[in-house]
């Protein structure tokens, strides 16, 4: 480790050349190191809470056990950096380069890694609760024994990624590429695999089945729903609508169809697919009695509402008419409500995300009025 002179706080400034410097256990809280050159610097145990390192070069730097909570590292270069056991909770790493970085045992809770490049990095035993990995490049990343809770990997590339013995709880893989990804021994719960690519249908079905069966996807013995969890003896063709099955307008048959459609939808890919099938079945049955349903269903926003409202209505019917439900009414509700969650996540999450900022501003104005 080379250094031309002992580093002092006067050297800590935007654009500073601190390559190879010793900064171990320095107090750098809220420091402005925008665009600084810290290549190969020794920052073990440094306190970088709230620091601005946007656009900085930290290639080959040692940041092990450093506290980088809430720091801004947007667009920073951390290629081959050592961040083992560092704390990066709520840090902004949007668009950062972390190729080949060692992130074993790190805490990335609430961190923003959107569009980050993380090829060949190591995240063994990492804590990734509420992390944003939207559209990130995670090819060949090692997530062995990592915890991913409510993590967003929408649109991420995960070619050859390893999730061996990882815990995945409420993770979104919507539109992700999972080509040759390894989930051996992983615990997967309530995870969405919608429109994923690079994985064959059999493997996808196994992942989805495991994800939801840990919740309550096991019908009771003797239930009518038990038959619907067995391999489909008369599968529909790929482009064939399911509405032809709804030839009886009894509430009992509607619920029976909902159980079958929801279970098969989950096995085929996602809870959202179940909502699609349930809605098509019910709209197809009732449109002859309520013509307005067809009109609502033909509108994009109307369809979105129906995809949430229809499974909800069927689930609610199990409370109102339990005697008409085939099998276990609670099981029907669980399947329908799971379908609602899947559909709402895909259909309404983008809308809700866009509303967060204006709603926060509105409620802030209301609080200001109340305090005045």
Burial 4-15 (b: 16+ CB within 10 A, else e): eeebeeeebeee
Is the model's pLDDT at 235 over the cut of 60?
no
pLDDT tens per residue, range 98-133:
999 999 999 999 999 999 999 999 999 999 999 999
Q: Which residue has the higher pLDDT, 224 or 176?
A: 176
Is residue 345 very low, low, confident or very high in pLDDT (cuts 50, 70, 90)? low
Kindly give, in sequence order, each residue whose CB lies less than 8 Å from that of residue 142, ignoring residues fewer than 6 positions away: 121, 122, 123, 124, 161, 162
Give, in order, the Cα–Cα distances in Å from 56 to each of 11, 32, 78, 142, 164: 15, 10, 9, 25, 33
Domains of the chain: which residue ranges?
225-355
CA distance 27 to 294: 64
- Distance in Å from the first CA to the final CA of the chain: 58
Task: Please return the burial class of 351, using the count of CB atoms within 10 Å of its CB with bins 0-12, 13-18 and 19+.
Answer: exposed
CB of 340 closer than 8 Å to CB of 315: yes
Residue 179 pLDDT? 95
pLDDT tens per residue, range 237-274:
333 332 333 333 333 444 444 444 444 444 434 556 66
Helices (H), the chain: 201-213, 225-228, 251-268, 271-286, 292-297, 300-320, 329-371
pLDDT tens per residue, range 298-340:
877 788 788 778 777 777 777 777 776 656 667 666 667 666 6
CA atoms within 13 A on the CB side of 276: 14
Listing from the earlier edge strand, what are the strands of the sheet with 147-149?
147-149, 167-169, 187-189
CA distance 5 to 8: 9
* Overall pTM > 0.75: no
**Backbone φ and ψ of 340, nearest 5°:** -65, -45
CA distance 287 to 292: 7
CB of 274 closer than 8 Å to CB of 338: yes
pLDDT tens per residue, range 183-202:
999 999 888 887 889 988 77
pLDDT tens per residue, range 6-46:
778 889 999 999 999 999 999 999 999 999 999 999 999 99
CA atoms within 13 A on the CB side of 107: 11
């Amino acid at each position: 480790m080379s250094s031309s002179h002992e580093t002092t706080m006067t050297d800590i400034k935007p654009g500073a050349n601190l390559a190879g410097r010793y900064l171990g256990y320095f107090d750098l809280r809220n420091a402005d190191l925008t665009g600084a050159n810290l290549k190969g610097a020794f920052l073990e145990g440094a306190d970088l809470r709230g620091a601005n390192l946007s656009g900085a070069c930290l290639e080959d730097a040692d940041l092990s056990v450093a506290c980088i909570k809430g720091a801004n590292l947007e667009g920073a270069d951390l290629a081959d950096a050592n961040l083992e056991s560092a704390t990066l909770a709520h840090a902004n790493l949007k668009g950062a380069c972390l190729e080949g970085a060692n992130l074993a045992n790190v805490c990335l809770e609430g961190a923003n890694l959107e569009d980050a490049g993380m090829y060949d990095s190591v995240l063994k035993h990492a804590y990734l609760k509420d992390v944003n990995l939207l559209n990130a490049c995670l090819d060949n990343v090692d997530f062995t024994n990592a915890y991913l809770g409510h993590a967003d990997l929408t649109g991420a590339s995960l070619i050859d990624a390893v999730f061996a013995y990882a815990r995945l709880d409420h993770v979104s893989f919507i539109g992700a590429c999972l080509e040759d990804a390894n989930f051996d021994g992983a615990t997967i719960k309530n995870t969405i695999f919608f429109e994923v690519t690079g994985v064959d249908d059999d493997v996808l079905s196994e992942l989805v089945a495991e994800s939801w069966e840990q919740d309550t996807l096991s019908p009771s013995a003797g239930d009518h729903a038990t038959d619907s969890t067995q391999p489909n003896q008369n599968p529909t063709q790929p482009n064939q609508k399911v509405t032809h099955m709804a030839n009886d307008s009894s509430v009992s048959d509607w619920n029976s169809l909902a159980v079958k459609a929801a279970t098969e939808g989950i096995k085929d890919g996602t809870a959202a697919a179940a909502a699609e099938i349930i809605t098509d079945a019910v709209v197809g049955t009732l449109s002859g009695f309520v013509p307005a349903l067809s009109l609502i269903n033909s509108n994009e926003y109307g369809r979105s509402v129906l995809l949430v409202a229809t499974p909800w209505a069927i689930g609610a019917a199990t409370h109102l008419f339990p005697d008409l439900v085939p099998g276990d009414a609670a099981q029907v509700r669980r399947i329908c409500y799971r379908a609602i969650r899947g559909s709402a996540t895909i259909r309404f999450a983008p809308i809700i995300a866009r509303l967060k900022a204006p709603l926060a501003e509105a409620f802030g104005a209301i609080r200001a009025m109340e305090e005045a």
